[in-house]
Structure 1
Amino acid sequence: MRAGSPRLLREINDRAAIEALLRNGPLTRSELEGLIGLSKPATAQLLTRLEAGDSVVRNGLRGGGRGPRAQLWSVNGALAHIAAIDLTPETVDIAIADISGAVLTEHKAPMPAKHGVLEAFVSAVGKACGQAGLAPDQLLHVVVGCPGAVNPANGELAYAPHLPGWSGFDMPGRLREQLATSVSVENDVNLVALEEMVAGRATKVRDFVVIWPADLVGAAVVINGVLLRGASGGAGEIDGLMIPDRASADTDTDRSGGTFGELLSNASICKLARAHGLAARNGHGAVRKALAAGPAGREFMVDLAKRIATGVASVVAVLDPELILLSGDIAQAGGTTLNDLVAAELRQLVVPRTPVQLALVTGKPVRSGALHSALAVARETVFGLPAATTAPFRGPVVAGSPR
């Protein structure tokens, strides 16, 4: 063995132990020994070494039976903290977590309609950090998920006219200056795709597309396990895709074409619902009413599925992915009924028989994706663990800017 190999082996074993503790939570020495394949003395030495370096801490005892209780070990969460943020035109939703993944606090605040958005954002992050006993500059990394796409050349947010106040400047760079820490800005649907890869239906899928068929239509494309962002960051920005309206009901739309986003806006979906005798205030409300409305509701669902499938067909024809996942409020409200109708319509439009399924992660998928993305960066920085290939775009680096 060449010189330095024992040290290299220790580093490899240390990383394996950290990964096992992060993946499984608190473990006893014997449990860790079984997971990483070391001997009892080697595992004991490893834990002593990691405890001396503050990488792991003792975390209670595991008891049971007549024998002595065993010491539990866990990753020292206090080593670093991160923030995961879901930014929309209306709100900012923030979670602060430690490097173990434990969420310390959550905070949601309204965003102003036009002016003062940056100040409101920074104030909300400061309040969330304060609730966790931290200052923003004590965060190791922040991931912000938002509609639109960051241009890798200059950090400007594009494809986001619905997010006023955030255009015309290096968004990640400005947030780094304001928060005095490392910040990444990622497309919201890209983060949903990341979460589906971590904890959803795409854990074993290499090529798939997440479609968010709702007001502000979006998509995330994953090829060979890697998010495709495109030359300007706009891969998956299908809101402006021109498609014909294949719905059977007459809603005074131009049958020769409109944008995907226009045909699936809240206003358009509600108008389509009214054409079928259903009244609703928003798109997902219309879908819920349709599911309870019998035959008239079924006809509306078919028309809505036609609109969704027509746009998705262009994506499938070009990419031929293994899987299409439908996510967002409209998809979840429609459930398996809408999902199956979209799949049936899609089979009439394209040759590939791509499966269509509902995204598994619900609740706060954007913020959850941001959390896993921020943790990947923090764990690479602190423990040297390899970051996932879906790690967020961090924007252009300006000399002297905080990292």
Structure 2
Amino acid sequence: MPASPSTARAINDRLALRLLQQEGPLTAGQLKQLTGLSRPSVADLVERLAAAGLIGVVGESGEQRRGPNARLYGIVADRAHLAGLDVRTEGVSVVVADLLGRPLAEASVPIGDGTATAPAVGQAVALVERTAEEAGVKRLHTVGIGAPGLIDPATGELRGSSGLPEWHRRLAAALQERLPARVVVENETNLAALAEQREGVARDRDTFALLWFGHGVGAAVVLDGVLRRGASGGTGEIGFLPVPGTGGLPSARDCEGGFHSLASAAALAELAHRHGIAAPAAPHEPHAAALVREAVARAAGPAGAASAPAAAFLDALADRVALGAASVVAVLDPGCVVLAGEVGRAGGAVLADRVRDRLGRMTPLPTEVRAGALGGGAVLRGALLTARDGAQDELFAPPER
């Protein structure tokens, strides 16, 4: 059944808006070329979108001939405002942005382990409100939250976990009530994969696996361009992956004895200590990231007493990372593995090359290994991209038929 004229117009409008978001400001002629619509249809949609406050004239194309044909149209960035949150066990970071995803203000607040649920939620909500005020934003349209743990596929809510603070689960509802705004919650590693696919090292891949190395470990899986969450939302919980060398097995409620015991920040700090690697801790990241950066710097220097322990540490680290990566590759054959998070970025190409060499010996499946480009900031960026997608889906949606 063909679409009604009103629905067809709405679909064309949405196509034009997506092009303006992806390509930046365009003239009516460029919109005609990219959409394949007739000149009168493009003129009509430009008029409709401008009347709705979604687009406006932002300049001229620079062509010698001036006038209506040279006008550049762009999305009205302040039509809606967004926030992205990165929720960790030790605190919260937030960024407020316009509809194009351009950051306007950022802030973070630590939340101690002993903080009760209500005060912790209050601190996080207050942080969002202060950051929005600093950005000059009176109302947030959509908030994207990245948090550790499982997202229930049926409800979209963060499921309870014995290893995570209760305030994580309460935060989304508190933000929804206080702001109010549309609130979307997603697993932090899934958001990192989204960010690396849109803006990082996986932009040319529609199938890949991302391994996250920060305070803990996790994974995200993108197959044929689609993020896969699993039947219970648990795709990528590789901290529970049984691997050799841990001296035990994980349980249903505790990932100690699993891959977490080999590759968490605490495990890597202990490994670095055994190899004589020391470095001052850097703010806002696991100490393991600073230790890996120090080892990479030493290994790149002249051969000698300082570089040998660093190389040995990086070899041992690559052995551990490859154990988890090999299991993912054997089951999924993603063709590409991204080493993400603060530790993955600190290891850079030096660690990625070592892991690739080991995978080449452990599996017959050809697999690229790339260092993530966005580090720990990938979660916050992914949360903001999710908020932007949600806001644009609502604002750009065609009417119901």
Per-residue CA distance 1:148-197 (angstroms, 9 max, x = gap): 22234563434572x42336x56544442343322111111100111122
CA deviation string 1:78-130 (max 9, x = no partner): 33222111112233221222223333322222323332211111101111221
Counterpart selection for 1:134 from 131, 134, 137? 137
Counterpart AA for 2:217? V
**Paired letter, 1:106:** E
Q: Deviations over 1:262-306 (max 9, x none)?
A: 222333223222322322453122222222142221111111111
Q: Which runs of 5+ in 2 are unaligned?
A: 251-256, 281-286, 299-305
SS at match of 1:157: coil
CA contact (8 A) 1:209 1:220 kept: yes
1:287 maps to amino acid: V
Q: Superposed, which structure 2 residues align to 1:1-80 within 5 Å? A: 5-63=4-62, 65=64, 67-68=65-66, 70-80=70-80
* Code of the aligned partner of 1:157: R
Aligned to 2:105: 105
Structure 1 residues 171 and 349, CA gap change in structure 2 (3 angstroms): farther
Once residues 153 and 170 of structure 1 are traced to their aligned partners in structure 2, the CA distance between those partners, rounded to angstroms, is 18
Aligned partner of 2:303 in structure 1 is none
The residue type paired with residue 99 of structure 1 is L
Inter-partner Cα distance in structure 1 for 2:172 and 2:153: 10
8 A contact 1:80–1:139 mirrored in 2: yes
Q: Confirm or deny that 1:345 pairs with 2:358.
A: yes
For 1:98-177, what aligned pairs fall within 5 Å after superposition? 98-113=98-113, 114-115=115-116, 116-135=119-138, 138-152=139-153, 155-159=157-161, 161=163, 163-166=164-167, 172-177=172-177
In the other structure, the counterpart of 1:81 is 81
Task: Find the counterpart in structure 1 of residue 193 from structure 2.
Answer: 193
User: Residue 375 and residue 347 in structure 1: after superposition, are their counterparts in 2 closer, same or farther (change >3 A)?
Assistant: same
1:365–1:64 Cα change, 3 Å: same
- Which amino acid is 1:109 matched to? V
When normalised by structure 2's length, the TM-score is 0.83
340, 363, 381: which one pairs with 1:327?
340
Matched, 1:275 2:274: yes
Give, as a single letter, the amino acid of the residue that structure 2 aligns with 1:149. Answer: L
Shift of 1:255: 8.6
TM-score (norm 1): 0.83
Q: Which residue of 2 aligns with 1:239?
A: 239
How far 1:17 moved relative to its partner?
1.7
Distance 1:201 1:270, change over 3 A: closer
User: Is it true that 1:91 corresponds to 2:91 in the alignment?
Assistant: yes
Partners of 1:288 and 1:47 in 2: CA distance: 51
The one-letter code of the counterpart of 1:117 is: A
Q: Counterparts of 1:312-391 in structure 2 under 5 Å?
A: 312-362=325-375, 364-384=377-397
Q: Distance in 2 between matches of 1:265 and 1:48?
A: 55
Structure 1 spans left out of the alignment, 5+ residues: 246-252, 387-403
Q: Is the 8 A contact 2:337 2:370 kept in 1?
A: yes
| Structure number having the greater helix percentage | 2
Letter in 2 for 1:98: D
Q: Does the CA contact (< 8 Å) of 1:244 and 1:256 recur in 2? A: no
Matches within 5 A, 1:181-220: 181-220=181-220
Corresponding position of 1:248: none
Instruction: Say if 1:206 and 1:224, in contact at 8 Å, map to a contact too.
Output: yes
Cα gap change, 1:273/1:103 in structure 2, threshold over 3 Å: closer, same or farther?
Answer: closer
Aligned residues: 373
Cα distance in 1 for partners of 2:175, 2:233 equals: 18
Q: For residues 291 and 104 of structure 2, what CA distance do their matches in structure 1 show? A: 37
Q: Aligned to 2:222, what secondary structure does the other structure show?
A: strand
Call closer, same or farther: CA 1:324–1:58 in 2, change over 3 Å.
same
1:123 alignment partner AA: A
User: CA 1:336 to 1:318, structure 2 compared with 1: closer, same or farther past 3 Å?
Assistant: same
Deviation, 1:368, is 1.2
- Kindly report the root-mean-square deviation, in angstroms, between the aligned alpha carbons of the 2 structures: 2.8
Which of 182-191 and 14-23 deviates more?
Answer: 14-23
Q: CA deviation at 1:363?
A: 6.4
- Which letter maps to 2:66? P
CA distance in 1, matches of 2:244, 2:249: 5
Cα separation, partners in 2 of 1:171 and 1:229, compared to 1, 3 Å? farther
* Compared CA separation, residues 255 and 237, structure 1 to 2 (3 A): closer
User: What secondary structure is seen at the aligned counterpart in 2 of 1:242?
Assistant: coil
Q: Distance in 2 between matches of 1:49 and 1:156?
A: 39
Please identify runs of 4+ aligned residues in structure 1 that moved more than 4 A: none
Indicate which of 287, 297, 310 corresponds to 2:310. 297
After TM superposition, give the deviation of residue 382 of structure 1 in Å.
Answer: 0.9
Q: Distance in 2 between matches of 1:33 and 1:153?
A: 41
What is the deviation of 1:6? 3.6
Conserved 8 A contact 2:158-2:185: no
**In structure 1, how many angstroms separate the alpha carbons of the residues matched to 2:194 and 2:53?**
30
SS in structure 1 opposite 2:363?
Answer: coil
1:284 equivalent in alignment to 2:282 = no
Q: Does structure 2 conserve the Cα–Cα contact (< 8 Å) formed by 1:192 and 1:365?
A: yes
Query: Aligned with 1:186: secondary structure?
Result: strand
SS at match of 1:180: coil
C-alpha contact 1:214 1:329 (8 A) present in aligned 2: yes
Identity %: 38
Query: Partner residue of 2:301?
Result: none
The alpha-carbon distance between structure 1 residues 194 and 347, as it changes in their structure 2 partners (threshold 3 A), is same
Deviations 1:229-258 (A, max 9, x none): 22332221112323223xxxxxxx749993
Q: How far off its partner does 1:372 sit?
A: 1.3
